[in-house]
Amino acid sequence: MSGASAGTLRAYFELVRAPAVLTVLGDTLAGGAAAGHPVGGRRLALPLASACLYAGGMALNDYADRGIDAVERPERPIPSGRISPERALGAAAALTVLGLALSVVGGGRRSLAVGAPLAAAIWSYDLAAKRHPVPAVLTMGACRALDVLMGAGTADLRRALPAAAALGGHTVAVTALSRGEVNGTSTTTAAGAAAATALVSASVLAGAPRSWRGGLPVLAAVGAYAARCAPAQVEAALDPAARNALEATKRGIRAMVPLQAALAFRHGSTAAGLAIAAVDVLGKVLRARSARGTEREMSES
């Protein structure tokens, strides 16, 4: 691969936030576990559907924010000139269509019936809702909840609603914090996020199996979830500066993975829980490699 081609590929990976895509793979696994669906076969296409829809949303986000990013984040692919706005919009559309097609492969019309509103919510968020605080937070929470429900399908929505509410509620808190990444958040917002983490943790533990064998994985996953995001949220509440809001947001996004695992274990799907845990390990490895690469680049400059 030529240097120019490799650079373009890296730019697209950056556009769609490739490492963050890992945080949505467990949504449909958690939803499927709540609905009693086994892991495997055609249903393995559903996490890929989530990944495509998420990546498409990220590309659309940068297309919609290209004017703001030119001032606040000029290093991003569009304002830096590495990807044109037209290509970013095309990538967003193509990934959305691919995500919907994969939802049909994985769950048929019952999953598509949830995937289509999910895609509409993603595009509504990026093109309109994100400009207004309350609609932005609620729409993003709805996107995550719908992604969980896509794993259940319309025939089993009721059984998956608690799992969707847990991940949707966590997403609402993280999204509210994320709005302070540039100019800082507020003590109330950060404290509310920490309270949401406690509430979500308690709700998941409340439905955990009572046996030692069944309850221990849930307890461990919930502990990992809370430990990953709560300290940064408390720090942001004590000092609501932009840097702390950004750190709490990043940790909140990463904490979605152990929360997904906790929900899968809670509903008795060891296979789904272990698969999500493997995704979490992969994410840590990729972040560590990325950090080492950044250090090498800085030392050579």
Alpha helices per DSSP H over 153-269:
157-178, 187-206, 212-238, 242-254, 256-266
Which residues touch 200 (CB under 8 Å, ≥6 apart)? 166, 169, 170, 225, 259
Share of the chain above pLDDT 70, in %: 95
Predicted TM-score of the model (pTM): 0.92
**Phi, then psi, of 91 in degrees rounded to 5:** -65, -40
Band (pLDDT 50/70/90 cuts) for residue 2 is low
pLDDT of residue 156: 87
pLDDT of 55 over the 50 cut = yes
- Dihedral of alpha carbons 292, 294, 296, 298, sign: negative
pLDDT of residue 295: 38
**Mean pLDDT, rounded, for 265-291:** 90
Band (pLDDT 50/70/90 cuts) for residue 7 is confident
Band (pLDDT 50/70/90 cuts) for residue 6 is confident
Band (pLDDT 50/70/90 cuts) for residue 288 is confident
pLDDT, greater one: 85 or 8: 85
Residues 260 and 37: their CA atoms lie apart, in Å, by 15
**Mean pLDDT, rounded, for 33-50:** 96
- The model's pLDDT over 63-109, given as tens digits with 9 standing for 90+, comes to 999 999 999 889 999 999 999 999 999 999 999 999 999 999 999 99
Which three-class secondary structure state does DSSP give residue 65? coil
Q: Is 105 exposed, middle or buried (0-12, 13-18, 19+ CB in 10 A)?
A: middle
**Mean pLDDT, rounded, for 125-129:** 95
pLDDT of 287 over the 50 cut = yes
Cα separation values, 74 from 16, 89, 269, Å? 16, 18, 44
Is residue 49 within 8 Å of 31, Cβ to Cβ? no
Which residues touch 62 (CB under 8 Å, ≥6 apart)? 15, 69, 76, 77, 78, 88
pLDDT of residue 19: 87
Which three-class secondary structure state does DSSP give residue 230? helix
pLDDT, greater one: 155 or 276: 276
